[in-house]
Structure 1
Amino acid sequence: MDRMAILQLSLLMLAIPAQYLLMKYTQVPDIQQRNSALQRLLSSAVGFKAKYLSWQTWQKWCIDMFGKVHSMRHKGSGHTGVEQPTPGQTSQGESPATEVLKFRDPKGYFGGSTEIRSPRQSNIKYRIGQVIKHKTWGYRGVIIGWDPVAKAPEKWLKEMHPADKRHWQKMPNYAVLVDTRDRHLPQRTYIPEESIEIISNTRIIHPELDDYFELYDGAQYLPRPWLQSIYPHD
């Protein structure tokens, strides 16, 4: 069966439940109840899209699948006298998650480089997993990466760093997952060190949070093994 036939069949199968739902909600006599029911239906549809059709969901699925494939390969190979990789790594020393990072931005801009940050320079003030607040804009977030100096396309640096803030390019810059309570659409930012302040007793809400961290210990987030391997001294 070709792709077009599969698509047509899928649309036909979806048409029946969609028709049923429309009939169900449009037959409600009270206008207010009908509007409320339709709003719930739309909210469910938006939730379904966010859960199953978003880039973050497919990224997480790819990471999980890579991990399962590598796990099956290791189980099938048995003990061969070769040192086994640490958790979260393949036999080549790469984790599935770092491979995804390389695919997303092969140049490693915005704190996304998979280059191991070792040794850790003494001028790096903050660490991955720390919860922060932007001093100017007030949004909260969690640090998922950093660069000793700004690493971004030249055009972006010129647009985002004003003429009187060119020194931002020479200081550590941090990749941050922004709390969706402060920015409704899931976002990442890249913040110069002097714009950051640490906050405590604050959890962050972001759909990608579990990809980077295992848990929150009450003060900061603890990184997954693959992220810790990139920042061994954080």
Structure 2
Amino acid sequence: MKQRDAKFQIGQVVRHRIFPFRGVIFDVDPEFSNTEEWWNAIPSEIRPSKDQPFYHLLAENEETEYVAYVSEQNLISDESGLPLRHSQVNAFFDAEAVGQYKPKAVVQH
């Protein structure tokens, strides 16, 4: 698989192109690095290519907070300027500017 540079960066606030959720990136895989079971659970008509960066997000929608794993092709930058309410944001990041969080020097568990 051909490796590409990541379009988004750790701390950036993004939203999903199709589904109604947004989140902050806390890790990036240069290409798909999850299980085949997870991959096959995605309907084939919307299943993304594996040869692109995949992002780990502290994600939220109107109802809940969770961790999401999303392909680059399904993300867009979130320009809303709204802070995230995800309960784990403060464990990974220090301060928030519009659309960007600053990663902590050391992540506390």
Q: Give the shorter-chain TM-score range.
A: 0.7 to 0.9
Residue by residue, what CA displacement relative to the aligned partner does 1:8-53 show, whole Å, maximum 9, x if unpaired?
xxxxxxxxxxxxxxxxxxxxxxxxxxxxxxxxxxxxxxxxxxxxxx
How many matched pairs?
104
Per the alignment, residue 96 of structure 2 pairs with 216
TM-score by length of 1: 0.41
**Structure 1 stretches of 5 or more lacking a match?**
1-120, 228-234
1: CA distance, partners of 2:71 / 2:90: 24
User: Relative to structure 1, is the Cα distance of residues 212 and 220 closer, same or farther in structure 2, using a 3 angstrom cutoff?
Assistant: same
Moved over 6 A (4+): none
Name the residue aligned to 1:206.
86
Distance in 2 of aligned mates of 1:164 and 1:133: 17
1:131 and 1:198 in contact (8 A); partners too? yes
Q: How does 1:116-127 map to 2 (within 5 A)?
A: 123-127=5-9
Q: Highest Rg: 1 or 2?
A: 1
Matches within 5 A, 1:1-234: 123-160=5-42, 162=44, 165=47, 167=49, 169-179=50-60, 182-200=61-79, 201-226=81-106
Q: Comparing both structures, which one devotes a greater share of its residues to helix?
A: 1
Between the aligned partners of 1:173 and 1:191, the Cα distance in structure 2 is: 5
Partner of 1:64: none
Hey, what's the Cα distance between the residues in 2 that align with 1:206 and 1:147? 22
